[in-house]
Structures are given as structure tokens and as C-alpha cells.
Amino acid sequence: MSFFTSSNLDLAREIVGRYPRPRSALIPLMHLAQEQHGWVSVDAMRQIADLCGVTAAEVKGTGSFYEMFKFHPVGSYLINVCTNISCMLLGGEELLEHAQYRLGIAPGETTEDNMFTLEEVECIAACTEAPCLQVNYRYRLRVSNTDFDSLLDRIRSGAEPDLSKHGTLTNVRQQIPIDRVANIVPPEHAREMPVWLHRNEASTTQAVN
Amino acid sequence: MTDATNQGTDSSGVSVTVNGREIQAKPNELLIDACERNDTYIPRFCYHPRMTPVGMCRMCLVEVDTGRGFSLQPSCMLRVSDNMSVNTESAVTKKAQDGVLEFLLINHPLDCPICDKGGECPLQDQTMAYGPGESRFIENKRNFEKPIPISDTVYLDRERCILCDRCTRFADEVAGDALIHFMDRGAKTQVNTFPEEPFASYFSGNTVQICPVGALTAKPYRFKARPWDLQEVMSTAWVDSVGSRIKVQASRDQVLRVLGVDADPVNWGWLSDKERFAFQALNSDSRLLSPLIRRGSTLEAVGWGEVLERVADALAGVDPRRIAVIGGARLTNEAQYAWAKLAKGIIGTDHIDAQLGDGLPAEVVLGLPRASIDDACRAAGTIILCGPDPKEDLGALYLRLRHAVLHQGTTLIELTPQRTGLSDLAAHSLYPRPGTVGEVAATLVAALQDPDLHNPDFRPGSAQKQAIYAAAKDISGPVTVVLGRASLAESAAPTVEAAVALSALEGVSFLSALRRGNIHGALDAGLSPGLLPGRTTLASSAERFANVWPQVPSEVGYDSSAILSAAKAGEIDVLFLLGADPSNDYIDGELASAALANAGTVVAVDVLPNDSITAYADVVLAAAASTESAGTFTNLEGRVSICEPIVAPAGVSWPDWMIAAALADRLDSDLGLDSPASIRSELASVSAIHSALSEEVLAASPVDGVMLVGNGDIEPPRSTGVTSPLNDRYSLRLLVTRRMYDNGTMLRHCPASQGQIAALALRLNPIDFEKIGVREGATVRVESARGYLDMVVRVDAGVPAGTAAVPWGTSGTDCRHLIGVDALVTDVRVERL
Amino acid sequence: MPTNDYVAHAPGYVNNEGPKLVTKRFEYADSFTLQRFLATDGYTGLRTALTKRPVDVHNEVRGATLLGRGGAGFPAGIKWGFLPPGKYPYYLVVNGDESEPGTYKDRLLMERDPHQLIEGCLIACYALGLSQCFLYVRGEMALAQERIAQALNEAYEAGYVGRNILGSDFSVDIVLTWGAGAYIVGEETALIESLEGNRGMPRLKPPYFPAAIGLYGQPTIVNNVETLANVGWIMANSAEQYRAYGSETSPGTRMFAISGHVRRPGVYEVQHGVTTFRELIYGDNFCRGIRDGHELKTFIPGGGSAPWFFEEHLDLPLEAGPVGAAGSMLGSGAIVVMDETTDAVKAALRVVQFFARESCGKCTPCREGTRWEEQILERIVAGEGRPSDIDLLLDIADNISPGPYPVAAHHAQGLEAVPFPPKQTTICPLGPSSVAPIASTIRRFRHEYDAKITKRDPIPLRIEVLA
Ligand SMILES: Cc1cc2nc3c(=O)[nH]c(=O)nc-3n(C[C@H](O)[C@H](O)[C@H](O)COP(=O)(O)O)c2cc1C
Ligand code: SF4
Ligand code: FES
């Protein structure tokens, strides 16, 4: 039984094809699995192992190194509050505390309605806009307690359309048109000097359109 | 991937200053090794000389100056360079090492008193030697759920783990079974398996041996002993023919543990789990503890006097041509010689065969240029694998071949009938259909001689021929053929043809892949029809032996198949089973049973009961096991190494050689052999190839052993011209292969291998599977000219189209009813039920 | 008051006065589109490069003394020269994993001007014969990924990326890859491991210098996003013009993120090497001083890994040499300013906590040591400290990073800001980085530690679970 839907399986194969070695697609495929399912299941990892030519233990071993992969169900909205130094200086911890109070859960937990999962995270690269958070990896900056409350309300009422469902990171995917691919091959098949480097010897300049 | 073990080949040394003293290091050598060879031991946890260094534990940090001032560097990752100066004792070095040790200990449980590793734990030793008296760590230690079983034989205690990456590196890099892995990150990092996927590796036991702490423990040894209670001896693993060097450890007269020894030309310290845990069978309750005589339907214990009398009576006055011996691969070289002398020189029969119809003719094993394992593993060479899957049959050899191909760039070309454990690494896998390996090998050899081989415009014809030409193009350097019987449903003839064809390659040499324990010792001792000890034949050496032995058989005798046929026909009065179990282990089970039933007196010499004994033996002579009697072993290369006894023979069992001597005595003859050493000395005097094998030579090479060189006067095999029959398009050709765990006697009595013996199942290529139109796991009928069996079917892309693969030696039903014993190959039809 | 200020569509970016080399398109709301890029000189650097010999392109970049912006500050042109001849294929890996606390210039560059980055990559590939490029973007930066994906799709379609770029014989693929949340993957060898599908655990240098043994064991150039974002400008203009900005040893401009207790925190493009910390923190064109009614206590000059600076360092220029000599580093261009209300021990704990959580776990001293430091600091902050804890902390620090910390600073003469071999008991500098906040605060604010320990005056730890 395939874990991936048939269109995602095609996509997975396409992604594998973008790397000189299939194993390099391991993390991208875990993202794809999480996008499809919300979290990375045992079946997903087994299939990723097949697609990348590794064992399932290697998939879990690699995947579990990274924060973003969830191996258990999480809420539809993952709220990541930053408490690292810049945010801490301007109230990140207080915001997290407020979030706990509002949601009635501790970091790492999911609300009973499976709507929200709260996490305390390290610096999310918006330090000058502290305190800040991400909901499904979309920024909310300079968030006050009241901002937080209204954010929850708007999410609940569907008034935050830019927030994709959890697991979906972006709405745009790279596409490489087949006829535009330069030369993606395993390293052992690319031992020749790239052709344009020959121009170092020949002094001819080339027409560029 | 860098090669973890090979040093540079340049012979000029590199001079390095270590603690003010100048030492000579090998070029490109790792600093940690160079120091150790020069008596400066640098502590370490993660470094293992047989694996790629990872520099993870940081224990081996030393101060090094390469011209830019001293800095701390991990000596396990640093290659020596000229004028390098090293300080392993400076205050900075000591502080760094003490710091690392303290860091390792803060989260390590203090359960040494109940830990299996207690007493032989580098962490404990380091701590005792240098560690702080008192812990500065007052926080809570990390905790994990207590020991979890990660396989049938291995437990993992993650609290004890110091994350040295040895087990995980071994699994991935050495065994190729990356089934245990680091999970999570930072201080939460742990080793674990994938959920519900055990660490099912034939080599899992090695991780226990190389774990520097007690995080991995083996079930057979858990809580059994403390290291200081153990005695140990050097020995040689006896379950297959690799002859891995081992240490056998025992306490209170019981073998408790087997450890791999790093013999550079052989097993590098690694063992298959079969080699490691098979000793359990020798401790089992079913051991034969005394001689037995059949009275009615039961075997009753008797004394040696009575039993020897009984055998002598049975032999008295019988025409030697009505006496036969099957088996002998279990025995030491010394016992094999004693039995060869008893059978051929005293009784006078040449009906003696250590192979059970599943091997190769003696001239194929002994008559071709020989290769060592190191020869096969030459970096610039090519291995042609023409035989069984080494991963299933010869575990430790598999690890060596895998290393050569993966890390040294040795080229591998497979002439195996299906995918093997090495296929992922093979440059070419030709997968000849059973029966055709001789033709494929001949085409390969012809391709190499074809002037068109490197002509880019040349099209060699059929797809198969193209594949063969492509493989031929990639053959480089010296070629080693690893040669054995790939399938039990195919006669030896096609393999012989392949050997003959490949022997035409320039500079080729052959490494035998016959698998039975000491089978190579048996052939060298003459336990084969027509052979005499020392790789020679009756034809050429009968006269010479007639001077040292009371007599020599006058004509070439029967092989195992002929002996069994003769016995079935009532032509054998006394049949010795020398550690053989034809009932269960001969290709034609029905013939074996009929033969045993019709033989006059069946005398079994063995350590454990088997099917042939319980059903048919009239007399059982209880033999001492290899951990119980002294002797030597000859491995598939022809390397002789010692098996030293460590425990007393079980019950009143006797060493096999002593049984032979006592029997000779009862036959009013004198074997003239009174100890293993005296047998070795006689063997050295009668056999040219054994002549160099003095006690001194053996003692001088306690780890590597001594190689027997030369082919004696065995002529190379000749082609018999057989070619494989075509099969009709409805049939599939049967392939019967061994797996590491089968229902052989040893494994049946070994708790560690319980549950690993597979049930009968058919594996088919997806194309053939589609044609049957059933679901995977459905039961189908497999029918050959000989009979039919119903079994479960599975899809396996590793089985070539047109082939039907089933395993040998399964639990419950076995596949033997299907095999056409006398036929070159066996074709079957598969039908849905 | 200058009129320039925050740019609404690029939150955090301050469009101050001064030369704009890499942020010049930020003022346009559609700066990330191919259309806007082409309308504002986009891809002229690439076109110029393609008319030259690859080696001349390399020399131009070398001549610009473009310092790496990922933290170590190594000149890109020189690094590019380390590729061993003939060992093809070579790869380019773009480090867009930006996770250093306080840092976020790369994110803005990727979100606002992805084509500029792509152009830089293409020029590097052309100059060096790199046959494939991997753009590794931090996983949590969804918008950046979206914008880069969009830009790559446009660029492939329009013939700027892929086979026969602009009709020439130059062909290269750029593949966008997302990270998945691990700070250490910003370290270049860990990034390569991650790209190979492994746990992001750094490799030991030597032998694993990426330029020699990198992705799939092949020679690999790893550059930071901002570094490559400068390359198009250099080619479109010239090395000479580039050197007209900034200082002699640190030419061009550089992006800095100044966060914390300042009046106008933000990301600024600043002349490299000439501007001082004082101008940046107090200048009208920049952050305009400490927030009202407060005064400077300390600031971190180069991201979480850097030792902390104080009042007396304010007049140092933003240049690796002087900053290094003063005992810290410019690192990733992140300045975190703290006023007198800041609890120094608490702040140190938070930074140490970061390193403990982000340790990859490979080296014993980092894996165990950072966690231990965190546990001790937590105890001190919770009022459970012991007088011996300070010495213990310093000794643990010494066991992770022996000798005077930071060695980098002591060796930082000239451009080679990360000295080899470093004095650290670990493989990479993450573990040793955890020492920075501890050493800095114990040295300067020891009384705060003492007060917590002797008075047992706890700041309550955060409430973890709520009823
Ligand atoms: C712990 C650690 C984290 C790092 N994180 C980043 C990062 O997030 N982004 C980055 O560009 N470089 C980072 N670096 C530096 C890279 O290893 C590398 O030096 C850099 O990407 C090279 O690019 P450059 O020469 O263009 O600066 C980090 C280094 C270390 C030791
Ligand atoms: S110092 Fe820390 S992060 Fe760096 S390699 Fe070692 S354990 Fe990993
Ligand atoms: S033995 Fe060298 S780091 Fe572990």
C-alpha cells in the first residue's frame, strides 16, 4: 500500500530526480509526507525509505534530528512562540505564558479540539520585531497579549486566509521544465570539465541573447 | 568514504615526536595507531581500527603541533605528517581528556555492579585510572526506559550508551544493515531501531562486542558471568568454512561466550551471529553424553567398552567394499586424518565422503590455482562470484568482500542465480539461469579475448550477451573467482564447467566457497573417494602410503550419493555417519532414509542427536565438541589454525580422533596416533603440503594461522561438455539456496537462532508472479517431475524471471521432494490452488 | 529627523540613508518579481559575466575582497580558489539556513529579492565551473521558500537558469531545498550532511573542508546568501566600484540586524568597516539610541555566539579585525542591545539554553557540557545556586573551550578570522560558543551571580504547565 497519494508519489519521484543521489531527497520527502498527512507516520517513513534507497531506521534517524518533523498528530495550527534573547528582552516569555494561559496547554501540547499546538521555539529571524511568533510558519510580529487573543479568534473564525493547513509550508513549488534541465546526474557521471570552462583557453566570446 | 583500515603503501616512514621521543610512523597512519604501536596508548571510545573514524567521543584529544603551535586534535582522525610533534601527557591534554571523561560520566548510570560490562569496561577503567573521586554533577541524570530488546539476541540500555557511534557505524558501514541508528538530537540523542523493525542482522552480535560500555548486551551472556571469573582460549569458529578466529570464554566448565579476534587476513574481529552463538548448542541438554546402543526402538546408554565391541563385531569379516563412511567436515584436521587412516589404511574402504552431494568434486576445490581472502580483496582486482550468496553461507567472508568492494574499489561481477547480499555493490550481476552458469562463464572468457570487446560500434547480439560484454569490459586487475554451489536443485556439473572456463583467464585464482565447517581440512586429509591425505590421489600415491599405512584401498570408492544408493540396495553392511545427518541434510531425503534403513549397522559419531541418529542409528559414539578437544582447522583458503579446548568433554564423550584410535585397537590394529600433536607430526611426514606445519610454526602464528600452499598433485578439472537443457515456456527453473539459519542440527539446538529458521515459501519475479494471478501470500502448488508441494508465494524482484526460488532447510516442510537428484536442473510449474 | 523609515512590505527593514547595494529593490512592493528585477538592472551582472572568461569573472570577485557574510568573514574570491583542479563535478551550496539568534538579513534578501541571489549563484557557477547549485533555505522560512520557488520557476522559464542559459553554453541547475529546523545545519559541513539526507552533524575540518571534500565527497563551495547577493552588483559594476564603499579591508556594505532595547530596531544596510557600533546604536540614521529612560548595559556584537561588548567598545568600527582584537566577533551581523533592566544571568541562561538545545550531540563536551551549563544556570536563576557553581561553570567552559576565550579573537589578525587549528575540544564552534555568554557575564556581572547565590533571590522560572 502506498502512503503517498498517486499525485504525491509522482511528485516524490520528481523530487528524487532533482538530486544527484536519491538519499538527498529524504528531507524534502518528509516535508511532502507531512504536507499530505499533517505529521510523518511510520508508513510514510517506510515509503520514503524505499524511494531514497535507505532503511526506515535511517529515515527516522535523519528525520528525528530536525524540529519541524512531527511523529505524532499535532493541531491544525502550530503556534511557535520565540523566546530567544531578542524576544525575551521584549516580552517573549510573557507572551508564551499568556499563550499557555489562553490555550490551556503547555508548550508541546495540543488543545483538545486538535486546533492548536503550542511550541516554544528558538530564534525565528524576526528579532527586531519582538516579541514574535509563527503560526504554521507564517510570521506575526510585535505581538501583544491582545493581538494574540484576536489572532486566535480570527483563526477560529477563518479570518486568517494566509495560514495554510499545518504541514503545508508554501503554496508555490519549484518546477523544473524537463526541457530546461541542465544535467542532473550522479557525481560519478560528471567527471568531465564543464564545457563553458573551455572558454578559459579559447578567447572567443560568446553571443548571449 | 575513506578506507578505515588501509594504510598508505609507500614504505618510507614518517617521523613524529611523541612526548619528546621520536617514533617512526607509517605514511598516512592515524596518529592514535602510530602512538599505540610505539607504546603510547591514547584513550579512546569511539575509535575502532576497522571502521571509519568519526572523532565523536573526543577522548583521544592530544596536543599536536604541525608547525603552527600546539592545538588539541583528535588523534583518531589525524594522519601523521613529518615533523609533527605530539604531547599526550601535557597539562592541556590531560585536562581535556579528564573533562571528556567527566562529561561522559555525568549521565552514565552507576550500575557497574550489575552491568555485564563491569570489569571489562573501558569507561570504568578510565574512571578508575584518572577519574575524579567525586562527582561535581548534582543535577538529574538523563533517563530512558530500561533495557529494550532490539533483536532476538541483543538488548539495548540507552542510559548506559555514550553515543560512540560504533554499533551504528558497524551496522551501516560494515554489515550494510543500517537498522539501528541515532535518533533525536543533542543531549536527547539515542540509538534505536525503527518502530517494530528489529535489528535483524546476521551480524548483530558484533555490536555487543564493540560497544565500549554495557549499553548493548547479548542475551546468551546476560548476567552469566563476570570477566574475572572467565578463562579464555584462542580458537577457530567451526560452523562454517571461513575459519574466523575467536576467543572462547568459559567459567565453571561451561562455555559462556565467543568473541571475534582481529586476524588481519581472516575475519578482522567480526563474526556472524551463527559463529558467535552456535556454542549454545554444545551446552544444550540434548548433548550426547555417552555411547548409545539401540535396543528395540530406544537408544540406551552403554560404556565405551561395550560399544566399541559392538562396532568391532559389526566390522569383523566384512568385505571392506561393504563398509562406508559419510561425513567428517565437523572434525578437526587431526581427527580427519585419524579417520582417513582408519577407514582407508586399516579397514581398507575407499567409500568415504565428507561432502553430502552438495559440494564440488575434489579436483575442482583442490586442483585450481588457489586464492586467499586477501587476494580476493585486492583493491585493483576483480571478484567473480560464482556460487552461493556469501551473506547467507559464509558471513565473515561476506563482510570482507563487502569491505573490499565498497571501501577499496574492488570490482565485483556476479554469476549468481539471483540477487545476493552484495548485489547492490556489484559492477555487474549477470544472474545466469540455473544450469547455464558454465555457458555464461565461457562467453565471458570469450568476450575478454574478443578483439571487438572495446570497439564502441560492436553490438554483441542478444541482451544477455551484451550484459556479458559489458561485464567483461569492467574486469580489471587480477581476477579471483569465489566458487561454490549456488543451488541445491542444480547438479555440480554447470559450476564445474564455469570453473573450467574461468580457469582460462590469465592469472586467475580461486577461493572456495564450500561452506561446511572443516570441509577443506577433510579434503586435505583425504576424506573423499580416490583421495589420500595431502592433496593427492590413490592413483598417484597409493604406493607411498602403502609403506606407512597397513594397507591402501585398491580401487576408487563411492561418493555420498553412491554410498546411499548402495546402502539402499542392501550393499553396505556398516555405515559410519561422521557428524553427518543424511536424513535431514542430503538432497534426496527419501533415498537417505531408505539407505539408512537398509544399511546393516549404522554407526553415528556425533555431538548432538539428529534425525538420522534417532531414527536409524544402531550405535552412537558420543564425540567431544570443538571446545572440548584440541586440534586444528583448515579454512576455505587452506589456512590452518588452532582450536584449543577450554572445557572438559561433555559426559563421557571422547575426541573423534580417540574414537578412531580405540576402534583401530579393537580391530587388532594400531593407528599409531596418541595425541593431536602426534597426528600432526605424522601428517607432516606423509603429506608434502603439511610438511611445514611444525608445532613451532603453528605456535609462531597464533592469530593468523599458517597457510597450506600448493595443489599437491591434483590435476585441474576438465570440461565434461554438459550444457543445460532448454525448458519449455510454461516451466520455471527451480533454485534452492541456503540461508544463514536453516534446520541443521547445530542451529536446531541453539536458542539464539530459534525463530530465525524460515518456513518454506516460493519467491517469484514480479513478471512470473503476475502470470499466476494470485495475491501475495496465497498458497500455490509447485510441481516438478518428482513431486509437488504446496507453499506460500511471495514477490521478489531479486529473483530473475523464469526462476522459482525456495530456501533449503526450512522449518516444517522442506523442499526436497521437488528436486531431481540425478538431473542437471529441476524445472517446476506453479499453479494456483 | 530623516524621512526614511520602516518599509511596510518588508517588516523590520529600515530604509535609512546610505548606499544601497543589496537592498536597493526593497522599496518596491513587487521587488521579488522577475519583471521588477529586470526593470532595475537585474541579470546585467550575469550578462556581463557571460561575455567574459570564467577566470576573469573569478578575478573580479577576488578583486572586490567580498568577505563572507555567514559568520567567518572569509573572502569569497579566495575561498573560490581552493577548489582542487580537475576533480569534477564541483557543487555550489547556498547557505540560507540563517538561525543565529538576532540575525535576519538573509531572510529579507530571500523574501524581497530572490532573483538577486539567483544571479549571484549563476555567476559563481559560471566562474568556477560548478555544475549544480543547491539553495538550502531554513525550513521555518515559508515565505522565503515561496518567493525563491516562484523566482526560480520564472528564471527557468525565461532561460536564466537551466540548460544553455541565455543561449550560451553555460548550463546549470539550481535546486531549492528546505531545511527542517536545526540551527547546526547552518554550519557548512552539517549543511552538506543534511543535503545528503543525513542528520546535520558537522564533519571534522580537516579533512572535510568543503572546497576539498564536500557534497558527495566532491569539491563544494558553500556561501552565505548575503555573500552571493553581492556578486551580481560586483559584476554589473566592478570590483573597483565595490571597493569604493566600506573600508580598505572590509569593502562594500553589509546588513546588520539590531534588536533589543533600542528605539528603532531594524535591519540596516550599512557601510562595512567604517560605521561604528555607537553610530549604529545611537545614530539618527540608525537605531536612535536606547529606549526612553534607559541606558546601555551590554550588547552582543555578532549573534548569539559572540562574546558580549560593553560601553567601552562602542567606538569600534564594524570590522572583523578590530572587533576580533577586542575579544569578540562580528559574526553574522546581529547586534542585540540590552539596557540596565536586563538580568544578566537570565540573559546568559537564555543564550546557553539555545546552544544546549541546538547541539547536534556529536561531541561529548558539547552534548553533555552545554546541557550541564544550562542546568547549573537554571538552578542559579531559580535561587538554588551554590557558591562553587561559578568556578564549576568556568571550569566546564574551559573543558569545552580550553584557554582564553575566544581564541578566535586572539588570533584574529587580518582576514583569517577563524584560525586553524582552534583550541576547542569539539568538532565545530557551537559548543565553545556556549561559553561566550557565561564568560562575558561572569566577568562583568559577577555581582549579579553572587547576589542570586548568596541572597537566594530567585527569579521564578517560567511556569511550564498551567492548571
Ligand atoms: C554553529 C554554526 C552555525 C552557522 N550558521 C550559519 C548560518 O545560519 N548561515 C550561514 O550563512 N553561515 C552559518 N555558519 C557559517 C558557515 O559554516 C559557513 O562559514 C558560511 O556559510 C560560509 O559562507 P560565507 O563564506 O559566504 O560566509 C555557521 C557556522 C557555525 C559554526
Ligand atoms: S560542537 Fe556541538 S554542535 Fe558542533 S559538532 Fe560537536 S556536538 Fe555537534
Ligand atoms: S577515539 Fe578519537 S574522538 Fe573518540
CATH code, residues C253-339: 3.10.20.600
Q: Are residues A43 and A64 in the same domain?
A: yes
Is B575 a residue whose pLDDT tops 80? yes
Q: Is the CB–ligand 3 distance for residue B56 below 6 Å?
A: yes
Residue A168 lies in a domain: no
Q: What is the CATH number of the domain that holds A146?
A: 3.40.30.10
* Chain A residues inside the 8 Å CB shell of B193: 57
Q: Are residues A67 and A108 in the same domain?
A: no
Q: How far is CA C462 from the centre of its chain?
A: 30
Ligand 3 atom index nearest CA of B76: 2
**Domain end (from A41, A71, A101):** A71
Subunits with 3+ C-beta pairs closer than 8 A to B:
A, C
Q: Exposed (0-12), middle (13-18) or buried (19+): which is B696, by Cβ within 10 Å?
A: exposed
* Chain A residues inside the 8 Å CB shell of C358: 122
Q: CB of C294 within 8 Å of any CB in chain A?
A: no
**d(Cα C113, Cα A101) in Å, to the nearest integer?**
39
> Average pLDDT, stretch B256-284?
96
- Residue B305 DSSP SS3: helix
Closest CA to C243 of C273, C215, C265: C273
Q: Exposed (0-12), middle (13-18) or buried (19+): which is B783, by Cβ within 10 Å?
A: middle
Helical ranges in B186-323 per DSSP H: 205-210, 273-277, 279-282, 304-315
Residue A12 lies in a domain: yes
Decide: B524 and B535 in contact? Cβ < 8 Å. yes
Q: Are residues A56 and A24 in the same domain?
A: yes
What's the C191 CA to ligand 1 centre distance in angstroms? 9
**pLDDT tens for each residue of C236-272:** 999 999 999 999 999 999 999 999 999 999 999 999 9
**Domain end (from A25, A43, A71):** A71
**pLDDT tens for each residue of B611-630:** 999 999 999 999 999 999 99
What does chain A look like in DSSP terms, one character per residue?
--SS-HHHHHHHHHHHTTSSSGGGGHHHHHHHHHHHHSS--HHHHHHHHHHHTS-HHHHHHHHTTSTT--SS---SEEEEEE-SHHHHHTTHHHHHHHHHHHHT--TT-B-TTS-EEEEEES--S-GGG-S-EEETTEEE-S--HHHHHHHHHHHHTT--TT-PPTT---S------GGG------GGG--SPPGGGGGGTS-------
Cα-atom radius of gyration of chain C, to the nearest Å? Answer: 22
**pLDDT tens for each residue of A63-118:** 999 999 999 999 999 999 999 999 999 999 999 999 999 999 999 999 999 999 99
pLDDT for residue C406? 43
pLDDT for residue A209? 59
Q: What does the block give as the cell for A187?
A: 557525481
| B vs C: CB pairs below 8 A | 98
Q: What does the block give as the cell for B253?
A: 566448565
Task: Count how many domains chain A has.
Answer: 2
Residue A23 lies in a domain: yes
Residues 409-428 of C with CB under 8 A from B: 420-427
Decide: A85 and C304 in contact? Cβ < 8 Å. yes
**Run of H or E including B807:** strand B803-807
What's the C184 CA to ligand 1 centre distance in angstroms? 9
Q: Which of A58, A59, A66 best tests the B interface by mutation, with the highest count of B CBs <10 A? A: A58
- Residue C178 DSSP SS3: strand
Q: Which residues pair with C13 in a beta bridge?
A: C267
Residue A162 lies in a domain: no
Is B226 a residue whose pLDDT tops 90? no
What is the pLDDT tens value at each position of chain C, 467 positions in all? Answer: 344 588 889 999 999 999 999 999 999 999 999 999 999 999 999 999 999 999 999 999 999 999 999 988 999 999 999 999 999 999 999 999 999 999 999 999 999 999 999 999 999 999 999 999 999 999 999 999 999 999 999 999 999 999 999 999 999 999 999 999 999 999 999 999 999 999 999 999 989 999 999 999 999 999 999 999 999 999 999 999 999 999 999 999 999 999 999 999 999 999 999 999 999 999 999 999 999 999 999 999 999 999 999 999 999 999 988 998 888 899 999 999 999 999 999 999 999 999 999 999 999 999 999 999 999 999 999 999 999 999 999 999 989 998 654 444 444 333 233 333 447 899 999 999 999 999 899 989 999 999 999 876 555 444 443 33
What ligand is nearest to the CA atom of residue C204? 2
**d(Cα B808, Cα B740) in Å, to the nearest integer?**
10
Q: What does the block give as the cell for B106?
A: 555525568
* Chain C residues inside the 8 Å CB shell of A137: 139-142
Separation in Å, CA B2 to CA B176, B264, B623: 16, 19, 48
**d(Cα B575, Cα B581) in Å, to the nearest integer?**
12
**d(Cα C123, Cα C50) in Å, to the nearest integer?**
8
Residue A93 lies in a domain: yes
Decide: A69 and A30 in contact? Cβ < 8 Å. yes
Q: How do the domains of chain C map onto residue ranges?
A: 27-242, 253-339, 344-452
Separation in Å, CA B611 to CA B518, B579, B615, B683, B754: 22, 12, 6, 34, 18
What ligand is nearest to the CA atom of residue C224? 1
- Residue B542 DSSP SS3: helix
**d(Cα C302, Cα B471) in Å, to the nearest integer?**
58
Q: Are residues A34 and A65 in the same domain?
A: yes
pLDDT band at A203 (very low <50, low <70, confident <90, very high): low
**Average per-residue pLDDT for chain B:** 94
C344-452 CATH pick, 3.90.330.10, 3.40.50.300, 1.20.1440.230, 1.10.260.40: 1.20.1440.230
What ligand is nearest to the CA atom of residue C209? 1
Q: Is the CB–ligand 1 distance for residue C237 below 6 Å?
A: no
Q: Which residue has the cell 577433510?
A: B522
**pLDDT tens for each residue of B397-436:** 999 999 999 999 999 999 999 999 999 999 999 999 999 9
**d(Cα B757, Cα B742) in Å, to the nearest integer?**
5
What's the C224 CA to ligand 1 centre distance in angstroms? 7
Residues 264-283 of C with CB under 8 A from B: none
**d(Cα C206, Cα B53) in Å, to the nearest integer?**
13
Sorted by sequence, the CB contacts under 8 Å of residue C251 that are 6+ apart come out as C64, C65, C66, C242, C243, C244, C245, C272, C273
What's the A131 CA to ligand 2 centre distance in angstroms? 29
Residue A200 lies in a domain: no
Q: Are residues A98 and A150 in the same domain?
A: yes
pLDDT for residue B423? 97
pLDDT band at A204 (very low <50, low <70, confident <90, very high): low
Q: Are residues A81 and A153 in the same domain?
A: yes
Q: What is the CATH number of the domain that holds A20?
A: 1.10.10.1590
Decide: C338 and C260 in contact? Cβ < 8 Å. yes
A56 closest CB neighbour out of B172, B184, B197: B197
**pLDDT tens for each residue of B1-58:** 344 444 444 457 899 999 999 999 999 999 999 999 999 999 999 999 999 999 999 9
Terminal alpha carbon distance of chain C: 50
Q: Exposed (0-12), middle (13-18) or buried (19+): which is B465, by Cβ within 10 Å?
A: middle
**d(Cα C159, Cα C170) in Å, to the nearest integer?**
11
pLDDT for residue B11? 56
What ligand is nearest to the CA atom of residue C364? 2
B103 closest CB neighbour out of C207, C364, C423: C364
Q: Are residues A67 and A81 in the same domain?
A: no
Q: Which residues pair with C296 in a beta bridge?
A: C339
Label residue B691 left, alpha or beta by phi (over 0 means left) and psi (-120 to 50 means alpha). alpha
Q: Mean pLDDT lowest for which of B173-187, B471-485, B800-814, C169-183?
A: B800-814
State the ipTM, two decimals: 0.94
Q: Which residue has the cell 537551466?
A: C162
pLDDT for residue B134? 74
**d(Cα B258, Cα B269) in Å, to the nearest integer?**
11
Instruction: Mark yes or no for CB contact B56/C363 under 8 Å.
Output: yes
Closest CA to B7 of B43, B41, B32: B32
Sorted by sequence, the CB contacts under 8 Å of residue B464 that are 6+ apart come out as B430, B440
Residue among B31, B42, B44, B48 to mutate when testing ligand 3 (max atoms within 8 A of CB)? B44
Q: Which residue has the cell 563536551?
A: C365
Q: Exposed (0-12), middle (13-18) or buried (19+): which is B132, by Cβ within 10 Å?
A: exposed
pLDDT for residue B557? 98
> Average pLDDT, stretch B798-816?
92
Q: Is the CB–ligand 1 distance for residue C95 below 6 Å?
A: yes
C27-242 CATH pick, 3.40.50.11540, 3.40.50.300, 3.50.50.60, 3.10.50.40: 3.40.50.11540
Reported pTM: 0.94
Q: Is the CB–ligand 3 distance for residue B268 below 6 Å?
A: no
pLDDT band at B814 (very low <50, low <70, confident <90, very high): confident
Ligand 3 atom index nearest CA of B60: 2
Instruction: Mark yes or no for CB contact A42/B193 under 8 Å.
Output: no
Residue A199 lies in a domain: no
A124 closest CB neighbour out of C47, C140, C180: C140
Ligand 2 atom index nearest CA of C359: 3
**Domain end (from A114, A141, A157):** A157
| Helices B560-568 and B589-598, axial angle in degrees (round to 10) | 60
Q: CB of C360 within 8 Å of any CB in chain A?
A: yes
Q: Which domain holds residue A62?
A: 6-71
Residue among C100, C107, C201 to mutate when testing ligand 1 (max atoms within 8 A of CB)? C100
**Cα C154–Cα C155–Cα C160 angle in degrees, nearest 5:** 155
pLDDT band at B734 (very low <50, low <70, confident <90, very high): very high
What's the C187 CA to ligand 1 centre distance in angstroms? 5
Residue A98 lies in a domain: yes
What's the C431 CA to ligand 2 centre distance in angstroms? 6
